Amino acid sequence: MCVGVPMQILFREDLAATAFDGTHKHLIDLALTGPVEPGTWILTFLGTAREVISEEEALKIQKALGGLAALMEGRDLGDAFADLDNREPQLPPHLQAALAKGETTA
């Protein structure tokens, strides 16, 4: 399983960048996103930037990852998933359309 980690670009040279995950600096490949400017938040997988994300999204992901780490250590999740509390699950558009047509199986 691959987990996306949000990082902020510190500096860049062509399609390589140094990014910070809040604890460590990492060398990141920017081939999938193209050049991005310092200060930009990216979602990384195995040393490669997959997409540019907002700071708000990066902070939500960092909080969720912190909550999972706490849970694995036997601690409480805290409010790591507060953005999901009291929210109904949402189907992807193609599944919602199939449900609306009655094309689902139980």
List per-residue pLDDT tens for the chain, 106 residues long. 578 999 999 999 999 999 999 999 999 999 999 999 999 999 999 999 999 999 999 999 999 999 988 988 999 888 888 877 788 888 888 888 888 888 766 5
Evaluate whether 42 touches 7 at the Cβ level (below 8 Å). Answer: yes
What pLDDT score was predicted for residue 102? 83
Residue 55 CA: distances (Å) to CA of 23, 61, 92: 17, 10, 24
What pLDDT is stored for residue 105 in this prediction? 63
pLDDT computed for residue 103 by the predictor: 76
- Residue 99: in which H helix or E strand, if any? helix 93-101
Per-residue pLDDT, 43: 97
C-alpha 45/C-alpha 20 separation (Å) is 14
Please give the pLDDT value at position 1: 58
